[in-house]
């Protein structure tokens, strides 16, 4: 501000550099200009924040689910997962967002993983037999036995998405049950409200990798894979309440249920260091 700026002009003095002279009121001081500018900046910051929130709200979350069945897992389990994901409680996934690999072929599995790179959220379910052990790495890692007695690791199923959930359901018996239902039960229809609720929960969750690993030392048990019970617990939860069922609570309910059944499963939820978890089911 110059020596003869607005703050130092007497009341009634005019500014006549260009055009007609303009009287300078007493209120036009350096302090009032500064406060006015601060208010404008604060309002502008608020508007920009609201604009960013609107962009987040209308942004389409790009998802991809990869459902893998390795012998002796059955296609029925993949059908259950597809029905659940497509349902309103499962988040209303679109059919084109769900990939199924039923033959357990290693190359087909890796091709599906590679084709899903770049999505916002990748949801991988691998059902079959496997184990968690140290092999060529200094840390323990889960290996799924796939076709031709080859194996695939959790590293290979992580496509590097900003948000990724890996479910290794290695609780399938060597000899599958004689009778397997041909079709999964009907558990709901597509819903825009549930998809939005699911996407909102995903956007609020912390990024990174989350794993759920279920193994069964008693490989001759005929109790079936854990994922069937995980789905059932989610359906039961959404049937009598509203909101979002996050992964920790879904796993906790499933563990309690399997303990009541006396099942020998070992279920580990490995979320990493996070406070805001991925959703598993919604009831808007």
Q: What residues does each domain of the chain span?
A: 31-60, 61-283
Report which of 229, 238, 230, 235 is spatially closest to residue 197, judged by C-alpha positions.
Answer: 238
Confidence of residue 13 (pLDDT cuts 50, 70, 90): very low
Q: DSSP class of residue 153?
A: E
Q: Which two tokens stand for residue 186?
A: 């009907």
Q: Which two tokens stand for residue 262?
A: 């006396």
Tally the residues of the chain: 284
The pLDDT assigned to 104 comes to 84
Give kind and range of the element (H or E) at residue 247: helix 247-261
Q: Which two tokens stand for residue 256?
A: 């309690």
**Residue 160 to residue 9: CA distance in whole angstroms:** 65
The model's pLDDT over 147-163, given as tens digits with 9 standing for 90+, comes to 777 888 888 999 999 99
Could you give the strand order of the β-sheet that contains 129-133, starting from the edge strand earlier in sequence? 129-133, 141-145, 151-153
The pLDDT assigned to 18 comes to 47
The pLDDT assigned to 240 comes to 85
**Residue 24 to residue 34: CA distance in whole angstroms:** 17
**Residue 274 to residue 17: CA distance in whole angstroms:** 62
User: 48-52, 146-150, 177-181: which range is least confident on average?
Assistant: 177-181
Look up tokens 């007493």; give the residue. 26
**Residue 80 to residue 249: CA distance in whole angstroms:** 20
The fraction of the chain above a pLDDT of 70, given in percent, is 69
Confidence of residue 257 (pLDDT cuts 50, 70, 90): confident
Q: DSSP class of residue 282?
A: E
Q: Which two tokens stand for residue 282?
A: 């919604």
pLDDT of 24 strictly over 70: no
Pairing type for strands 208-215 and 163-170 reads parallel
Mean pLDDT of the chain: 78
| Residue 236: HSE in the Cβ half-sphere, 13 Å Cα cutoff | 11
The pLDDT assigned to 269 comes to 94
Q: DSSP class of residue 7?
A: G
Look up tokens 């039923």; give the residue. 102
Is 116 within 8 Å of 200 (Cβ atoms)?
A: no
Give helix 226-239 / helix 75-86 axis angle, nearest 10°: 20
The pLDDT assigned to 281 comes to 96
Look up tokens 């496509």; give the residue. 159
Range 61-283 has CATH code 3.40.30.10: no
Q: What angle do CA 38, 42, 47 make, to 5 degrees?
A: 145
Whether the predicted model's global pTM rises above the 0.75 cut: no
pLDDT of 213 strictly over 50: yes
């Amino acid at each position: 501000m110059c020596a003869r700026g607005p703050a130092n002009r007497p009341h009634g003095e005019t500014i006549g550099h260009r055009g007609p002279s303009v009287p300078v009121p007493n209120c036009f001081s350096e302090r009032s200009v500064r406060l006015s500018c601060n208010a404008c900046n604060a309002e502008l910051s608020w508007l920009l924040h609201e604009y960013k929130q609107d962009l987040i709200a209308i942004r389409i979350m790009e998802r991809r689910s990869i459902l893998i069945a390795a012998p002796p897992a059955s296609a029925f389990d993949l059908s259950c997962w597809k029905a659940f994901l497509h349902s309103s409680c499962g988040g209303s996934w679109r059919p084109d967002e769900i990939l199924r690999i039923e033959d357990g072929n290693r190359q087909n599995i890796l091709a599906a993983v590679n084709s899903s790179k770049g999505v916002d959220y990748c949801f991988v379910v691998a059902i079959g037999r496997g184990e968690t052990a140290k092999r060529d790495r200094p840390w323990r890692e889960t290996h799924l036995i796939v076709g031709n007695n080859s194996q695939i690791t959790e590293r290979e199923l992580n496509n590097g998405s900003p948000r990724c959930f890996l479910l290794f359901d290695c609780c399938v018996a060597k000899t599958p049950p004689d009778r397997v239902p041909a079709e999964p039960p009907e558990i709901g229809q597509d819903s825009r409200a549930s998809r939005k609720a699911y996407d909102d929960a995903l956007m609020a969750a912390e990024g990174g990798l989350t794993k759920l690993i279920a193994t069964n030392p008693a490989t001759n048990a005929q109790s079936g894979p854990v994922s069937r019970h995980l789905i059932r617990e989610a359906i039961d939860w959404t049937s009598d309440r509203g909101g979002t069922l996050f992964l920790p609570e879904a796993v906790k309910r499933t563990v309690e249920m399997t303990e009541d059944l006396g099942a020998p499963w070992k279920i580990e939820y490995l979320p990493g260091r996070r406070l805001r978890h991925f959703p598993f089911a919604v009831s808007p």
